Structure 1
Amino acid sequence: MDTSNVNELEQLGSFEISDQMLKLAQKNQRKNIFLNAGRGNPNWINKKARLAFNRLVEFGVQESERTLSQADLVGCPEKEGILKRFKHFLTAETETDHFLLEILDYTDGLKIDNEDLVKELIDGVLGNNYPVPSRVLKNSELILNQYLESTLYNGTKLADQTQIFPTEGGTAAIVYIFQSLKANKLIQPGDRIAINTPIFTPYLQIPELADYELVEVDLHSTEENHWDLLPEEIDRLNDAKVKALFIVNPSNPGSKALNSNALAAIREVVQKNPDLMIITDDVYGTFVEDFQTIYAVAPYNTLLVYSFSKLFGATGWRLGLIAAHKDNVFDRLIRQLPEKERAQLIKRYDLVVLEPEKLPFIERMVADSRSIGLYHTAGLSTPQQIMEVLFALTHLLAGDSDPYIETSRAIIAERYKELFAALQLPTDDGKENSKYYTLVNIYQLAEERYGKEFRHYLATHFEYMDFLKTLAEKEGVVLIDAVGFGAIAGELRVSEANLPAEDYRLIGHEILKVLKEYHDEFLAK
């Protein structure tokens, strides 16, 4: 088994290694079907919101022709009478038009001016103006808040107290948060930050960059504890020297949501350490029944990151957001900075606002995202904002028993079941398991099938990357090295997002086939 260039591969990040595995797998030695279970991109999309978006574009162009029409050059929609014309344009005979009419009934119940809403939707899909306000469109924020409360808060009422900053996906949200925490002196080189590992790789990579030079405190979840974050790990956050906690919930790659004990422990921590800043990335929250975000139990201390990409099959749209409570620790800590640092921040933002000392942290992120000087043209593009709103409305109109969400969960669960059946491993059917990803410990699997002596042989004679490379090169199966996520050597991440259920049974068989080949070599020696 060729181990050449394995050491070189280990120097790369997890996703960069995966790109190398793709090249090997597509030309695999056994001419097997190519199976890429590396990336977390789902292989389904939400059609209802997309069809509604197209219908809004169609009406918007028609409206634009009312004011000016010269070949392909048309004018812009006018607000007066647009609601009446929109209703006349729609027919309840099609599913898409019925959905758009239902939206008007729903938003009327939120006491939204529907004339104003339709104008916002139409201008938004046409993209004919800068986002106004820069942070988020007015009615869009109201609807997005209802969505977050319905899907992530589990009964806690926070919609009226939450501000939202839509971003170019969850990745942009992460970047903006780190940039503004540093720019506003909330994190500085040498500060200690806690990270629940294993975790999505940027949360490990960004703090180590020369831009930040933060010291990581590892709150480790383990396979033995089913990837739960235990209260004794959370207790380490009581140390006032720990400035912040970064967490993905449900975890990536462990796929476990925080249980009630962990949430209760975090609630107690912020009472003892009220200056603790928490950033929670909850993109997988909708795959867990009765999910509750940290933001629901510690809203004063928490920034919530969410992305529509996974649930709605919209990774290419780049749709994410940051949510913050109107009263939060970030604003308070800025107010408590030493006078010299406050003066520096006043100078930083006085180009764009008259009273920079009163500029909330969430608005500072908006300004920082466009190097401050372009604050007046900041914000997520309006078509992207409207797409977020339409995705949100597909759920809000469906109610708590949303068949789309239930179907997506069932798809993931079936794939998870097939993989574990092939590997002959027991499943984790706890309600906190999103099942979006699975971590397979090759060394543990080796011991369970062939004994401790073989496990020792495998671990000592081969680099952990060798199994991953052999799986791709010989069998055509691509998985992700989980060491880059902070997992231990030998753990590989399988995404249950992007292949038919029967392919996951095949992946399990291919893993065991490669393991058997290693074992045959062990016996021969």
Structure 2
Amino acid sequence: MGIVVCDRRDKTMTADMNIFEQVDDSKVSSLDQLSNFEVAAIFNKYAQHNLRGNEVVNGGRGNPNWIATTARLAYSRLLEFGVTEAERTYFDPRGMAGDVQKAGIYQRLMIALKESRRDIFLRTAIDAAVSQLAIKDKDAFVYELVDGALSDHYPYPPRCLTYTEQVLQQYLQKVCFKDVQLAADVDVFPTEGGTAAMVYIFQELHYAHILYPGDTVVVNSSIFTPYLQIPELSEYNLRIKTVTTKREDNWQMTDEQFEELKDPRVKAFFAVNPTNPTARAFTPERLAKFKEVVKANPDLVIITDDVYGTFSPSYQSIFAVAPHNTILVYSFSKLYGATGQRLGVVCMHHQNVCDRIIQENLQNRRLKELDERRYSIVVPNPHKMKFIDRMVADSRAIGLYHTAGLSSAQQVMMDMFALSNLKDAGLSPYVKLSREVVADRYHEFWHGLGILPDETPENTRYYTLVDIFDLMRQRHGKEFCQYFKDNYNYLDFTYRLATEFGAVVMDATAFGAEKGNVRVSLANLKKADYRKLAQAILDLVDEYYQVFKKKSKK
């Protein structure tokens, strides 16, 4: 787990056995079947009434406790300007205005913008977009932003607003692809967060006859729990095979595990990069292995969720090395403190394995008839419809395709977040700040445990995995650790941590981690709270040790 830098086994312990004995953990095993997210929610309720009367420190969920301010203020400025523009065409004091006119809107906005922080940002962001995207019609661009912020029209095109797609292409280029130039070769589909993106992808792989029930899919474990649960649903009934990474390998896949992906019987590979809960990006050396994989298994579909990418200095997407085989999912939620906004995006290369397999499937008469029957009501040539466009149609059950697409307001919010990054050459100051925030908390937590933190560049520090069994061994020896394993349910520790100390962490077993591991989020507490959380963990370990010593004397 790490190098112990302070050994407190011989120091005075804060174990309060009177409180420890008040906790009834006899029914904890009944929670085994619940999702770890549901268990953490239950434990958080217990923590509110903890026996020590402590202030609750909930390090279980990954929702950040910060927000990006400037982009939000800029959005509000667009909205304010949009209302003024609408009142130019029609105004009624009872609260109604007309619609926005495109002609001259760029110049009117520039005149309206003053020298406030939000106005300066909005002016700079728009000018940066015009320059970087080589936008010729400034009125059309600003009209899309203003009209989109007002949201008085259905999103059109349904998959993505015209200029938003260009902004997102450039954002993904900077953040995910890095030095591999792909922006001009990709399509994007904004979705209701990364969660909706994953739902749509699984659905479409099924509808497009790319994945069949019984097919083998490999999951890079430990991983976000739903990616282990969704493939097992009855409508998909996929055979899941996990490749589990280990701490001693810095949570990187081994050569042998990459070899498993070369087996043509493996139809898909799911990864979170950087990982959740182990918080590691693929190293450049490991990333390069995917080129070998898709060369050996050209029909492999890779789905990668890269929401934590900006938190690792060395991160690059799998998409950058295997673009024709990879479906990239990105979300603005964690970096910009926007989980409630639901801002995700699917990205696919123009020449991708899914489109190729669809065309191969159309050689089958039955599949061709099914395809035509399904999509002929929305496009004149359904057989030419791309996978990503089918995803848009199927996201609205085909019949509602004409009203498909993420709300234009959400897409414009994406524009503002993306442009807050693109306006700066090199590393965005905001991204740098976000890394510093989680790094400070990460160090506070691990130093609180008395263990040197991991400083590898692949480490996002957004989450961290704590091996409680290893901590027990380091602190009080192997016999004590074995005693705990033999006598307690694996959820007992997190249950007692909540009910006695008011401290909440998430059991990592459901992520695919070994029993005894818990996930701590470094995103949702104040820095000082992580020292409290670490101390609560140590105190509880010491209390269990007191029980062990007492029973050992009998």
Residue matched to 1:415: 441
Residues 466 and 520 in structure 2, CA contact (< 8 A), matched pair in contact too: yes
Residue matched to 2:220: 196
2:102 is paired with a residue whose SS is coil
Residue matched to 1:498: 524
1:289 is paired with a residue whose SS is coil
Q: Does 1:292 align with 2:296?
A: no
State the 1:400 CA deviation. Answer: 1.4
Hey, what's the Cα distance between the residues in 1 that align with 2:348 and 2:424?
A: 26
Hey, what's the Cα distance between the residues in 1 that align with 2:46 and 2:125?
A: 48
Residue matched to 2:12: none
1:196 is paired with a residue whose SS is strand
Of 450, 470, 473, which residue of structure 2 is paired with 1:447? Answer: 473
In the alignment of these two chains, the number of paired residues is: 524
Of 120, 123, 127, which residue of structure 2 is paired with 1:98? Answer: 120
Give the 3 Å change call, closer, same or farther, for CA 469–399 of structure 1 in structure 2. same
* Superimposed CA distance per residue, residues 504-524 of structure 1 (whole angstroms, 9 cap, x where no aligned partner): 111111101000000000000
1:391 is paired with a residue whose SS is helix
Residues 104 and 114 in structure 1, CA contact (< 8 A), matched pair in contact too: no
2:466 is paired with a residue whose SS is strand
Equivalent AA in structure 1 for residue 200 of structure 2: Y
Residue matched to 2:495: 469
Give the 3 Å change call, closer, same or farther, for CA 488–380 of structure 1 in structure 2. same
State the 1:111 CA deviation. Answer: 1.5
Hey, what's the Cα distance between the residues in 1 that align with 2:250 and 2:31?
A: 29
Residues 153 and 292 in structure 1, CA contact (< 8 A), matched pair in contact too: yes
Residue matched to 1:69: 91
* Superimposed CA distance per residue, residues 8-51 of structure 1 (whole angstroms, 9 cap, x where no aligned partner): 11110010001110111010000011000001011110001000
Deviates more, 1:115-124 or 1:219-228: 219-228
State the 1:224 CA deviation. Answer: 2.6
Residues 222 and 278 in structure 2, CA contact (< 8 A), matched pair in contact too: yes
Q: How does 1:509-520 map to 2 (within 5 A)?
A: 509-520=535-546
Q: Does 1:125 align with 2:149?
A: yes
State the 1:339 CA deviation. Answer: 2.9
Residue matched to 1:521: 547
Q: Does 1:402 align with 2:428?
A: yes
Q: How does 1:299-378 map to 2 (within 5 A)?
A: 299-337=323-361, 338-378=364-404
Of 91, 109, 115, which residue of structure 2 is paired with 1:86? Answer: 109
Residues 108 and 114 in structure 1, CA contact (< 8 A), matched pair in contact too: yes
Q: How does 1:5-24 map to 2 (within 5 A)?
A: 5-24=27-46
Hey, what's the Cα distance between the residues in 2 that align with 1:86 and 1:151?
A: 29
Of 283, 289, 292, which residue of structure 2 is paired with 1:265? Answer: 289
Q: How does 1:427-442 map to 2 (within 5 A)?
A: 427-442=453-468
2:65 is paired with a residue whose SS is coil
Residue matched to 1:483: 509
Residue matched to 2:18: none
* Superimposed CA distance per residue, residues 73-116 of structure 1 (whole angstroms, 9 cap, x where no aligned partner): 1100011111121111112x212111121123212212212110
1:224 is paired with a residue whose SS is helix
Equivalent AA in structure 1 for residue 125 of structure 2: I
Residues 281 and 314 in structure 2, CA contact (< 8 A), matched pair in contact too: no
1:398 is paired with a residue whose SS is coil
1:489 is paired with a residue whose SS is coil
Residues 472 and 481 in structure 2, CA contact (< 8 A), matched pair in contact too: yes
Hey, what's the Cα distance between the residues in 2 that align with 1:155 and 1:111?
A: 20
Residue matched to 1:44: 66
Q: How does 1:381-396 map to 2 (within 5 A)?
A: 381-396=407-422
Structure 1 spans left out of the alignment, 5+ residues: none
Of 282, 300, 304, which residue of structure 2 is paired with 1:280? Answer: 304
State the 1:401 CA deviation. Answer: 2.6
Residue matched to 1:111: 134
Equivalent AA in structure 2 for residue 195 of structure 1: V
Identity of aligned residues (%): 48
Deviates more, 1:463-472 or 1:440-449: 440-449
User: TM-score of the superposition, structure 2-length normalised?
Assistant: 0.94
Hey, what's the Cα distance between the residues in 1 that align with 2:33 and 2:226?
A: 15
Residues 39 and 495 in structure 1, CA contact (< 8 A), matched pair in contact too: yes
Residues 103 and 393 in structure 1, CA contact (< 8 A), matched pair in contact too: yes
* Superimposed CA distance per residue, residues 169-222 of structure 1 (whole angstroms, 9 cap, x where no aligned partner): 000000000011101111111000000001001100101111111001111112
State the 1:264 CA deviation. Answer: 1.1
Hey, what's the Cα distance between the residues in 1 that align with 2:232 and 2:428?
A: 41
* Superimposed CA distance per residue, residues 377-427 of structure 1 (whole angstroms, 9 cap, x where no aligned partner): 100000000000100000011221311111110110111111111111221
Q: Does 1:247 align with 2:307?
A: no
* Superimposed CA distance per residue, residues 146-186 of structure 1 (whole angstroms, 9 cap, x where no aligned partner): 11110111211110001100000000000000011101111
Q: Does 1:233 align with 2:257?
A: yes
Hey, what's the Cα distance between the residues in 1 that align with 2:325 and 2:237?
A: 23
Hey, what's the Cα distance between the residues in 1 that align with 2:365 and 2:103?
A: 50
2:249 is paired with a residue whose SS is coil
Hey, what's the Cα distance between the residues in 1 that align with 2:416 and 2:254?
A: 37
Residues 107 and 114 in structure 1, CA contact (< 8 A), matched pair in contact too: no
Residues 25 and 476 in structure 1, CA contact (< 8 A), matched pair in contact too: yes
Residues 244 and 276 in structure 1, CA contact (< 8 A), matched pair in contact too: yes
2:268 is paired with a residue whose SS is strand
State the 1:340 CA deviation. Answer: 1.6
Residues 129 and 419 in structure 2, CA contact (< 8 A), matched pair in contact too: no
Of 225, 247, 264, which residue of structure 2 is paired with 1:223? Answer: 247
Hey, what's the Cα distance between the residues in 2 that align with 1:147 and 1:480?
A: 32
* Superimposed CA distance per residue, residues 268-291 of structure 1 (whole angstroms, 9 cap, x where no aligned partner): 100111100000000000001132
Residues 352 and 372 in structure 1, CA contact (< 8 A), matched pair in contact too: yes
Deviates more, 1:446-455 or 1:464-473: 446-455
1:303 is paired with a residue whose SS is strand
Residues 253 and 437 in structure 1, CA contact (< 8 A), matched pair in contact too: yes
Hey, what's the Cα distance between the residues in 1 that align with 2:150 and 2:391?
A: 26
Hey, what's the Cα distance between the residues in 2 that align with 1:265 and 1:250?
A: 16
Residues 164 and 411 in structure 2, CA contact (< 8 A), matched pair in contact too: yes
State the 1:292 CA deviation. Answer: 0.5
Q: Does 1:149 align with 2:141?
A: no
Residues 180 and 365 in structure 1, CA contact (< 8 A), matched pair in contact too: yes
